[in-house]
Amino acid sequence: MPRYKLTIEYDGGGFVGWQRQENGLSVQQAIEDAIEKFCGRETTLFGAGRTDTGVHALGQVAHFDLAEAAEADTIRDALNFHLRPAAISILAAEPVDDDFHARFSATQRAYLFRIINRRSPLTLDKGRAWQVGTPLDSDAMAEAAQALVGFHDFTSFRSVHCQAESAEKTMNHISVTREGEEIRLLLQAPSFLHNQVRIIAGTLGWVGEGKWTPKDVSQALAACDRTASGPTAPPEGLYLLDVVYGKKAGGEKKKGGKKKK
């Protein structure tokens, strides 16, 4: 059966998350329904990452199999037609090898977290960024973020409901940049824990407000205890930005490997 890779953009505000659930419409279900309308058969869609309720995507990746081959552009256009008026766009469809897997073939993922640092209410960015009215020191946030780069036990920065077998992960890159009233956090890693980016954003928010110093972030990481870190930032600021395939980019070390100091 021919396999196809989809690159997907969506506004997560109207969905219960990526994964199909019983309590509401998910992005996965909406696209699977569109595929069935296109080909007349039920199809399972496999995504690169399970975004939560309210989380957006600029470059989510998924794959599925069709009983018969079709032109990639035809698949893209047909799915977009059947997805209307849902806030989901298939940016691209392309044929891939049978051994391609949207989740397991990925070598790096990138997330963007947007903070709008102003007191006035949001209009155009409402539901698409975390608004913080207190002035934030983005330089202090950038300095503190570097303590989280490398191979660490990220127990302090994952949800207590996280189902990952190990909290040991490699963070390849974190940057904090500011342009006017918008602060952007860019994080790149082979994989992420549940709520990891949002907890990092909430913790760095404390640094920006002056409640914490960069040293406090290092101490929170070393504590390996969720209660030692900051709050979980709201989902509307988070975007799955990109998923990389091919050559490994600083892949995960085996459990029990030496941690970066």
Q: Which pLDDT value is given to residue 119?
A: 97
13 and 91, same domain (yes or no): yes
pLDDT score for 22: 87
Which residue in 11, 33, 52, 99 is the catalytic one?
52
Instruction: Provide φ and ψ at 246, rounded to 5°.
Output: 115, -135
Compute φ and ψ for 151, nearest 5 degrees: -95, 120
Q: Please give the tally of structural domains in the chain.
A: 2
The proportion of the chain whose per-residue pLDDT surpasses 90, expressed as a percent, equals 92
Q: Say whether both 80 and 120 belong to one domain.
A: no
pLDDT digit string, tens, across residues 160-209: 999 999 999 999 999 999 999 999 999 999 999 999 999 999 999 999 99
Average pLDDT of the chain is 94
User: What tokens were used for 28?
Assistant: 């996965």
Same structural domain for residues 131 and 203?
Answer: yes
Do residue 117 and residue 54 come from a single domain? no
Residues 30, 68 share a domain? yes
Whether residues 92 and 152 share a domain: the answer is: no
238-245 vs 56-65, strand pairing mode: parallel
On whether residue 250 sits in a domain, the answer given is no
| Alpha carbon 96 to chain centroid, angstroms | 23
pLDDT at 248: 53
DSSP result, the chain: --EEEEEEEE-GGGSS-SS-BTTB--HHHHHHHHHHHHHSS----EES----TT-EEEEEEEEEE-SS---HHHHHHHHHHHHTTSSEEEEEEEEE-TT--TTTTEEEEEEEEEEE--SSPPSTTTTSSEE--S---HHHHHHHHGGG-EEEE-GGGS-TT---S--EEEE-EEEEEEETTEEEEEEEES---TTHHHHHHHHHHHHHHTSS-HHHHHHHHHHT-GGGS-PPPPGGGEEEEEEEESS-SSPPPPTTPPPP-
Q: What CATH number did the domain enclosing 171 receive?
A: 3.30.70.660
184 part of a folded domain: yes
Q: Which domain holds residue 138?
A: 107-245
Residue 90 belongs to some domain of the structure: yes
pLDDT at position 259 = 40
Identity of the residue numbered 26: S
Say if residue 149 is in the same domain as residue 90.
no
Q: Residue 256: pLDDT band by 50, 70, 90 thresholds?
A: very low
- 52 counts as catalytic: yes
Q: Are 198 and 232 in contact, with CB atoms under 8 Å apart? A: yes
Q: 108: closest CA among 231, 261, 246?
A: 246
Q: Is residue 261 part of a domain?
A: no
Q: Which of the listed residues 96, 118, 144 is the one where a domain comes to its end?
A: 96
* Residue 142 and residue 63 share a domain: no
Among the candidates 74, 96, 118, a domain finishes at: 96
**CATH number of domain containing 16:** 3.30.70.580
- Co-location of 125 and 177 in the same domain: yes
Comparing CA positions, the residue from 60, 75, 59, 69 lying closest to residue 98 is: 69
**Whether 23 and 150 share a structural domain:** no
Domain membership of residue 37 (yes or no) is: yes
Reported residue count of the chain is 261
Provide the pLDDT for residue 246. 85
Does a structural domain hold residue 101? no
Is there a single domain that holds both residue 152 and residue 222?
A: yes
Task: Kindly indicate the confidence band of residue 253, based on its pLDDT and cuts at 50, 70 and 90.
Answer: very low
Q: What's the pLDDT at 254? A: 41
| Cβ count near 225 (within 10 Å) | 10
Measure the CA–CA gap between 176 and 164, rounded to whole angstroms.
27
Question: Global pTM?
Answer: 0.92
Tens-place pLDDT, residues 5-43:
999 999 999 999 999 998 999 999 999 999 999 999 999
In this structure, are 62 and 190 located in the same domain?
no
Average pLDDT of the segment spanning 63-86: 97
